[in-house]
Structure 1
């Protein structure tokens, strides 16, 4: 990141902004991992802890927004620095949405899923593993402002999409053969959809990093 402002405090405030976004990202990553485990274990207490933590994540997003506005107002950043500050708020928003999906998954975990659907849990687990790696990598890419790493993550979302489609196909027989009032199937399908959306938000972050670097939007195709 270019930092040409003469005041040392300017560099410190940009570093603080980055630190807030990374703190938010690491919390979102932790929430996602815990939510998937909670869903697998059907643990209501762990699920409730995830729901409560969501308030802290919301507060952090607001802090990022306030700090971004303060830097723009006080320091009047130019060029790449301005893109960085403006985009930090967008990245924080995507991370907050990821945490929201984790909360939704945890809530489904509180309700549990029917034993007869346990064989389909692997789809959730595999998607979770992919997303764990993607989210960890995109946080590193943001910290380093590495477009190469960001685009690697962007392209890897195709794996998540493929797992989602495979999972839906794999459960197709259940749709045709069973009474869908059994909430287990619905919980699994809902959770897979949440995870698929998490992947979309991670690719958004990759596109934001590209924008910071090149001042244009990434128009690639998976």
Structure 2
């Protein structure tokens, strides 16, 4: 039996695809910014001298990294509802994605922090830099620069993983595709279009991170390797 593709009915719904893509980027943007900050703080906590703080950060990281994202979304969605907190599906999706990416960011940033040579810190202390100056300029920024490619890849993967939030009716790109294919009965064509949109979003995010790398890391800009 020959396969006949007809994209006309699907492409007529381009405003819906656009709305879904914008919400996907919005969820990814919120989770990237907030989750990145959370991961940075937790990475510092995992290297803290206080055992209780180290253990707390470790439990957070291991709990998230060893459970599926979909289960985490359901836990947040139904857990908040059972406690009497009513939030929209989009808010819950953003919160769950933030918690998830924060754990992975923690380990990536911690690896960067561990890679800073002790002698580099001692040299900064010999120059009479303050503790805050040392941590910011000698430890944290070089560590982020080292792991920046891994961080950007993780954030792009997060954007792709946001598709599972359709399970709680967050109307991002995959949820929109589900509605369109059920209306048009053109499932194959619909998901071809969605796959191409995801590819475009991935390239868009990578271009954005590449540009950000040029701004944040002058040395990489000189070398031409911001990612």
What range describes the TM-score normalised by the shorter chain of this pair?
Answer: 0.3 to 0.5
Give me the TM-score of the superposition, normalised by structure 1: 0.32
Give me the TM-score of the superposition, normalised by structure 2: 0.32
